[in-house]
Amino acid sequence: MAWVVLIVSGVLEAVWATALGRAEGFTKLAPSIVFLVALVLSMVGLSYAVKTLPTGTAYAVWVGIGASLTVAYGMFSGTEPVSVAKVLLIAGLIACVVSLKLVHDGS
């Protein structure tokens, strides 16, 4: 269950990061509210996950999911330039996140 919560928390990290970019210094109400709600839920989920998962592994997976989804969304929406190098690096990041899960399960 901790892994499922951690993955959802990583997705919420991408939500709050994207909302933060759209909040324009917290001058826009809706993205600011989305940011705050997603941030709190993401942190609560991460704190739940580290009760049973090693903190370093959980944090790396959480950040990896959030960062890769944030960049992917930016490229998909056109707010971030797309390049082959970026796509390959994000794929590598995702491979590392999956590998951390596999290594954890094998230990």
pLDDT, one tens digit per residue, over 19-53 is 999 999 999 999 999 999 999 999 999 999 999 99
Q: By CB neighbour count within 10 A (0-12 exposed, 13-18 middle, 19+ buried), where does 73 fall?
A: middle
Question: Which domain does 97 fall in, by range?
Answer: 1-106
Question: Does position 107 have pLDDT exceeding 80, yes or no?
Answer: no
How many structural domains does the chain have? 1
Question: What CA dihedral angle connects 38, 101, 67 and 45, to 10 degrees?
Answer: 10
pTM: 0.90
